[in-house]
């Protein structure tokens, strides 16, 4: 009789555990995304549930997983160093302030400004700048999406046009992904120090797609970005194409905005609040006259 009771209890416990596991695998809507976005994400997980290759999700950095209002963190961090050390690479700063900060030359000059500094210094510099000025600006809905992706067997990668070493530590900690999965503009490292020799491809515009092919080496099932510079990367997704706070502005060399392009091609469009803190120093614009990024209320 006692054996029967123990067997029945074991069966009951097994049944409860199995049911709990099933409930745990049920998609729960991500707070901060609207119903339509959550519906598309849930469908994505159903469609990729039995995918038998590497499951890859790739996201841009600034503006996609990290707020970029009023300035890119890479710029605010770099110009804070330039302000404190006016003799440090003054010729590079002079060049940078005359360029668009989304140009290919500019994103490489960011790395060259730190030539000779150690990888460890740059990782700590980025982490400190994040804590001072961007703490809390890693988007909560994206953190939750990345968590669910990992629970469903996905590798998560960040492909950013910001300096790789500056973004690796804090993004790895905030998103709970390996530091080596943060891929940015990189240069050859010699004896622990950053050099001015760039490692191609440079992950800017079409280079982001090439970075996926070169460093990830698997077609992603989900790609997320926020701007025209992410277009080629997003289009290489094998399933879900996600864009955050897309701009309605039509550039001079374009016939439509990236927002309109996303709508026309049935991308998932998500809105996330991105506003600067009241204590933001605005070093990039007040001292170095860099253009501000738009806010998203």
Residue 273 domain boundaries: 30-286
Specify the DSSP class assigned to residue 29: P
Q: What's this model's pTM, rounded to 2 decimal places? A: 0.90
Domain assignment present for residue 19? The answer is no
Residues ≥6 apart with Cβ < 8 Å to 120: 192
154: exposed, middle or buried (Cβ count in 10 Å: 0-12, 13-18, 19+) = buried
pLDDT at 23: 34
Q: Is 184 helix (H, G, I), strand (E, B) or coil?
A: strand
Domain assignment present for residue 18? The answer is no
pLDDT at 237: 98
Rounded to whole angstroms, how far apart are CA atoms 245 and 65? Answer: 11
52: exposed, middle or buried (Cβ count in 10 Å: 0-12, 13-18, 19+) = exposed
pLDDT at 254: 82
Domain assignment present for residue 294? The answer is no
Per residue of the chain (297 residues), give pLDDT as tens.
Answer: 555 555 554 444 444 343 333 334 689 999 999 999 999 999 999 999 999 999 999 999 999 999 999 999 999 999 999 999 999 999 999 999 999 999 999 999 999 999 999 999 999 999 999 999 999 999 999 999 999 999 999 999 999 999 999 999 999 999 999 999 999 999 999 999 999 999 999 999 999 999 999 999 999 999 999 999 999 999 999 999 999 999 998 887 788 999 999 999 999 999 999 999 899 999 999 999 999 999 998
Rounded to whole angstroms, how far apart are CA atoms 75 and 294? Answer: 15
pLDDT at 249: 87
* Number of domains forming the structure of the chain: 1
pLDDT at 58: 98
Domain assignment present for residue 70? The answer is yes
Domain assignment present for residue 185? The answer is yes
Looking up residue 269, the CATH number of its domain turns out to be 3.40.50.1000
Domain assignment present for residue 39? The answer is yes
Domain assignment present for residue 160? The answer is yes
Domain assignment present for residue 295? The answer is no
């Amino acid at each position: 009789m006692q054996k029967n009771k123990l067997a029945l209890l074991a069966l009951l416990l097994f049944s409860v555990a199995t049911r709990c596991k099933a409930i745990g695998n049920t998609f729960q809507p991500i707070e901060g995304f609207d119903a339509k976005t959550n519906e598309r994400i849930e469908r994505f997980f159903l469609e990729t549930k039995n995918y038998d290759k590497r499951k890859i999700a790739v996201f841009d950095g600034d503006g996609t997983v990290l707020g970029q209002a009023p300035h890119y963190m890479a710029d605010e961090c770099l110009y804070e160093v330039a302000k404190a050390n006016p003799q440090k690479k003054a010729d590079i700063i002079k060049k940078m302030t005359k360029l668009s900060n989304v140009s290919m030359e500019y994103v490489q000059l960011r790395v060259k400004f730190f030539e000779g500094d150690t990888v460890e210094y740059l990782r700590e510099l980025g982490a400190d700048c994040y804590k001072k000025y961007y703490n809390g600006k890693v988007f909560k809905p994206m953190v939750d999406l990345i968590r669910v992706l990992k629970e469903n067997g996905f590798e998560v990668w960040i492909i950013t046009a910001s300096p790789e070493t500056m973004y690796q530590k804090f993004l790895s900690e905030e998103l709970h992904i390996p530091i080596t999965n943060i891929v940015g503009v990189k240069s050859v490292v010699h004896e622990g120090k950053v050099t001015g020799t760039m490692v191609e491809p440079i992950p800017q515009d079409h280079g982001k797609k090439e970075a996926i092919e070169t460093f990830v080496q698997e077609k992603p099932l989900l790609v997320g970005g926020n701007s025209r510079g992410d277009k080629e990367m997003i289009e290489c997704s094998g399933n879900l194409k996600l864009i955050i706070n897309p701009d309605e502005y039509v550039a001079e060399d374009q016939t439509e905005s990236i927002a309109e392009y996303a709508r026309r091609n049935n991308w998932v469009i998500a809105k996330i609040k991105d506003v600067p803190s009241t204590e933001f120093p605005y070093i990039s614009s007040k001292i170095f006259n860099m253009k501000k990024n738009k806010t998203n209320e």
